[in-house]
Amino acid sequence: MHGEYKVPGGKLVVVDLEIEDDRISRFRLAGDFFLEPDTALDDIDAAVNGLPAESDATAIAAAVREALPDGAQLLGFTPEAVGTAVRRALVTAPGWRDFDWEIVHEKAVSPRMNLALDEVLTARVGEGRRRPTLRIWEWNESAVVIGSFQSYRNEVDPEGAARHGFDVVRRISGGGAMLMAAGQIITYSLYVPASLVAGMTFADSYAFLDDWVLQALRSLGIDAVYQPLNDIASPTGKIGGAAQKRLANGGVLHHATLSYDIDGQMMTEVLRIGREKLSDKGTASAAKRVDPLRSQTGLERAEIIERFKDTFRSLTDAETGSISADEYADAEALVASKFATEAWLHRVP
């Protein structure tokens, strides 16, 4: 059995193993990481050999950590990365290039339509009716998009939203609110089969699915890092955040919103950003904790999006794709039956 795991912002961890009598055997670790002392590699191999085949990533990581000699240096990987690679080997998890990808970047649609397309396209990937896809959002109206479990009245100032021309909509994934203002953000969605993140913890899958965008940001000169659970940041502030929804049919939605520009005053008038959240982030201002891409790169939004697409294409061999007429029709029906309804918007009052 063979498994691989690319540590977000780090190195590739590769494992080969067999199963005998329900235990791991003939385990070998490899990769482009750095490890001192050299003999620690044998210690890791010995620690994993003999573990029960049903061991989860946490148990495997604990065994590796316990076996490391005092002062061992692991650069570019962690015991947890070894555990994840082993689990991916045991479930025969595929990698990015094992799928035929497409990139979709089409006409602007309403925020509700963007949300409905997320659900429709994720379901189709889960059903095997669509290839795994990266979609770049474009929209023709301003909106506040709140997370599936957020309270409407706690997150949004209705008067402020109306004054600035913002509609309010609710998405199917969790996480916090985002402002979809004209030209101020870049949002993308990944629609992937669950097998791509098999063997990973939920938290690890966030970093794994956004590693490509970290590479794109770094190619633009931004020292981008992933901050658990779901933030993308630079040394001077938050750039954006991600959210996920997993469907019962095996489709996984992973989408992220990155700040391109920001109107801090408008943000505070539209969103009720609680003091507790700001204090947890170590700042007194929502605007100050965001570091938008425009100020960091000096590039137009369209130029950054093209770099994103080029980077993703280089890593996956993705082809340019499109949304079919029946997918649009299904999304329009879902807007009417769900995303445009008061019941959905106020599911958490």
Q: How many domains does the chain have?
A: 2
Report the candidate in 297, 260, 312, 261 with the shortest Cα–Cα distance to residue 135. Answer: 312
231 and 86 in a single domain? The answer is no
Best CA proximity match to 6, nearest among 215, 194, 306? 215
Q: How confident is the model at residue 278 (pLDDT cuts 50, 70, 90)?
A: very low
What does the DSSP assignment read for 276-327?
HHHHHTT-S-TTTTB--HHHHH---HHHHHHHHHHHHHHHH--EE----HHH
- In Å, what is the CA distance from 312 to each residue of 94, 103, 123, 138, 143? 17, 9, 22, 18, 27
CA distance from start to end of the chain: 49
What is the structure's pLDDT at 28? 98
Say if residue 47 is in the same domain as residue 172: no
In tens, the pLDDT along 301-321 reads: 999 999 999 999 999 999 999
Q: Are residues 68 and 104 in the same domain?
A: no
Q: What is the pTM of this model?
A: 0.89
Would the pLDDT of 154 be above 90? yes
Write out pLDDT tens, residues 33-85.
999 999 999 999 999 999 999 999 999 999 999 999 999 999 999 999 999 99
φ, ψ (nearest 5 deg) of residue 3: -140, 145
* Domain end residue (candidates: 34, 60, 90): 90
Asked if the model's pLDDT at residue 281 lies above 60, the reply is no
Residues 64 and 169 in one domain: no
287: pLDDT strictly greater than 80 = no
CB 261 within 8 A of CB 133: no
Kindly report, residue by residue over 226-271, the tens digit of the pLDDT: 998 899 999 888 999 999 999 999 999 999 999 999 888 898 899 9
289 pLDDT tier (thresholds 50, 70, 90):
low
Q: Say what the pLDDT of residue 290 is.
A: 73
Per-residue pLDDT for 282 more than 50?
Answer: no
pLDDT band at 90; cut points 50, 70, 90: very high
CA pseudo-torsion sign 132, 233, 14, 87:
negative
Distances (CA, A) of 259 to 112, 256, 325: 20, 10, 31
Q: Which of 90, 120, 141 is the last residue of a domain?
A: 90
Q: What percent of the chain has pLDDT over 70?
A: 95
185 and 283 share a domain? yes
For residue 17, what are the domain limits? Answer: 2-90
Q: Kindly report the CATH number assigned to the domain that includes residue 291.
A: 3.30.930.10
Mean pLDDT of 285-299: 75
- What pLDDT sits at residue 135? 98
Residue 285 confidence (pLDDT) above 80: no
pLDDT value for 262: 84
- Per-residue pLDDT at 269: 92
Of 38, 62, 90, the residue that ends a domain is 90
What CATH number does the domain containing 51 carry? 3.30.390.50
